[in-house]
Structure formats: structure tokens, C-alpha cells
């Protein structure tokens, strides 16, 4: 039998609140619920017994399809291709203030080195207090060369400096750390677009905070619209984040999740984000 509209609405409104409580953005939760309504109304449910449980099970399965995950091998393949072409692969890191970019840059360098690649880091945050010293210290501790200039220098100049050093030293990968910036400041987003044009990175990675709520959508959307992003990394998942922002960001930008940051140490980079996220979402 087909469920009644009332049964479907009951199940959908509970599901809606579960999504919101898991930090899925309101506009994303709206869209998900609206897209599922039709298929739920068309479902075959048993005549007797817990009919709503059958509908709930369908909703639970739909969560998995909402998380868009990237294959890290695609990134590694690109690095191999760059190596064959005799040039370093370049990855540009962008994102809002305090989302974990600098820490993630060093984690990714460590991840790549474990897989046999040489990496140098570019300290292109020439704005924030202590930013250069922070990356230099992290880099030194982990054994990575950090290319930096002075505060106030043009981020593009630092990036190009790093690219040149990487080319001459035959280093495989250059990771470029940039200053945090708010999506509301168009000028700062344009600065990123200009940096991307100059540096021509193989990938742009957006690092977002897993604890962010509805702002996560607007932040990721604006970075994607103005700069253009290829992958998303969500950090601080270990801070009990439910991870709903991963769904919101996937849904609004279509860009896939590459890693999750699950702590402050070098190894705290999760390369199987889907499983960890489903566990965090707890659906």
C-alpha cells in the first residue's frame, strides 16, 4: 500500500529536525526533505505494522548518498603526472578564519611524504599576526622546508618564490597556505582569485570548520563562486561535530570531501571521510 500524506509528513518533519540538529543548513534540509517527499509518497509500505519505520529506513539510506566524497588517488595521480612533466604539483589552501588551514597544510604534507612524495610549504599568509612563525614552527617540527617572506609581502610573490625553489630542487609538491578571510569581504576573495590566476594550482582545497552551522553554506559557496574550489576538507570533526556541514557544502557547491581533520597532530587526517561522517551524523 502507499503511505498516507500524513504519515509521510510526520516522518519528514522528524527527519528535518534531525538534519538541522546534525548541523545541516536550513536551506539544505529544506531541499533534501522536498526531494524525498515524492519518492516516499510512491513507496510501498506494508498494510500493517510499523509503516513509518519503513519510511524512516529509506530516509536513513538517503543520508549516504548526500555525502559527496573524493578519491584521494585522483590527487596522487595528478601529482605523479606533474612529476612526469618535470614540474611540482601545486595545491592552494583557502578558507574562512580559524578553520584549520595552516594545521591541515602540514598534515597533508606529512600524508604525502608518507606516500613517497617530497613537499615544501609556502607561507603565503603575510597578513595575520604570528602566521609566518606558526607555519615555520610547524614545518620545522615536521621536517618540511617553509618558504616565506615578510609580513605585508604579496602572497603571490611568496607562492612564486616557493614554486621556483620547488622546480630547482625537483620537489614533487608545493602546498600554499593563505590567510583566513571572510566570504563577506569581496576584495579578499578577489585577492584569492588573483593568486590562483598567478600560481595556476593543480587543485584548490577549501578548509572549513566542521562545527560551523548555516554560515558553512554561504562561506563555501562564495569561495567556490569567486575563487573556484576543487576539494573540501572539514576540520575539527573530533570536537564532537555531527558533520552536517559536509552535507550542506556538498549539496550547495557539488564539490567533494577529500579529508576530515580529526585532531591537532600530524596524523590526524582521515582519508576515509564517508565512514567517519556517517558515524558522526549518527543516523
- The listed partner (Mg ion, other proteins, ligand GTP, none) that binds 209, CB under 5 to 8 Å by sort, is other proteins
Q: How many CA atoms lie within 13 A of 61 on its CB side?
A: 9
Q: How far is the CB of 207 from ligand GTP (least distance, A)?
A: 6
- Cell 528535518 belongs to which residue? 16
Applying CB under 6 A, among 88, 139, 243, 261 the residue interacting with ligand GTP is: 261
SS3 208: strand
Among 2, 4, 13, 17, which residue interacts with other proteins (rule: CB under 8 A)? 17
Task: List binders of Mg ion among 80-139 (CB under 5 A).
Answer: 101-102
Distances (CA, A) of 185 to 25, 96, 136: 22, 11, 27
**Residue 1 neighbours by CB under 8 Å, 6+ apart:** 44, 45, 46, 47
CA distance 135 to 131: 6
Task: Report how far residue 199's alpha carbon sits from residue 213's, in angstroms, rounded to the nearest whole number.
Answer: 32
Residue 182 lies near ligand GTP (rule: CB under 6 A): yes
Q: Please, which of residues 113-172 interact with other proteins by CB under 8 A? A: 128-130, 133-134, 136-138, 141
Asked if 268 touches ligand GTP (CB under 6 A), the answer is yes
Q: Is 248 in the site for ligand GTP (CB under 6 A)?
A: no
Q: Which residues bind other proteins (CB under 8 A)?
A: 17, 20-23, 25-27, 30, 96-100, 128-130, 133-134, 136-138, 141, 182-184, 209, 211-216, 218-219, 236, 238-242, 244-245, 264
Amino acid at each position: 500500500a502507499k503511505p498516507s500524506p500524513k504519515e509521510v509528513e510526520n516522518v519528514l518533519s522528524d527527519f528535518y529536525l534531525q538534519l538541522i540538529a546534525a548541523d545541516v543548513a536550513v536551506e539544505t534540509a529544506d531541499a533534501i526533505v522536498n526531494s524525498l517527499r515524492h519518492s516516499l509518497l510512491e513507496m510501498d509500505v506494508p498494510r500493517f505494522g510499523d509503516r513509518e519505520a519503513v519510511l524512516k529506513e529509506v530516509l536513513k539510506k538517503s543520508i549516504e548518498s548526500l555525502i559527496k566524497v573524493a578519491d584521494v588517488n585522483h590527487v596522487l595521480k595528478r601529482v605523479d603526472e606533474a612529476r612526469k612533466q618535470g614540474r611540482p604539483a601545486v595545491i592552494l589552501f583557502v578558507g574562512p578564519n580559524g578553520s584549520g588551514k595552516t594545521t591541515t597544510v602540514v598534515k597533508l604534507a606529512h600524508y604525502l611524504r608518507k606516500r613517497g612524495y617530497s613537499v615544501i610549504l609556502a607561507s603565503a599568509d603575510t597578513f595575520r599576526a604570528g602566521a609566518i612563525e606558526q607555519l615555520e614552527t610547524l614545518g620545522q617540527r615536521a621536517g618540511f622546508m617553509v618558504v616565506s617572506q615578510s609580513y605585508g609581502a604579496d602572497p603571490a610573490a611568496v607562492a612564486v618564490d616557493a614554486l621556483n625553489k620547488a622546480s630547482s630542487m625537483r620537489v614533487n609538491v608545493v602546498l600554499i597556505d593563505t590567510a583566513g578571510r571572510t566570504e563577506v569581504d569581496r576584495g579578499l576573495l578577489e585577492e584569492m582569485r588573483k593568486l590562483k590566476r598567478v600560481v595556476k594550482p593543480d587543485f584548490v582545497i577549501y578548509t572549513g570548520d566542521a562545527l560551523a552551522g548555516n554560515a558553512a553554506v554561504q562561506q563555501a559557496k562564495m569561495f567556490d563562486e569567486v575563487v573556484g574550489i576543487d576539494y573540501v576538507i572539514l576540520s575539527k570533526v573530533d570536537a564532537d561535530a555531527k558533520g552536517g556541514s559536509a552535507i550542506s557544502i556538498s549539496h550547495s557547491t557539488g564539490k567533494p570531501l577529500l579529508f576530515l581533520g580529526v585532531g591537532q597532530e600530524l596524523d590526524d587526517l582521515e582519508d576515509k571521510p564517508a565512514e567517519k561522517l556517517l558515524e558522526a551524523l549518527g543516523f
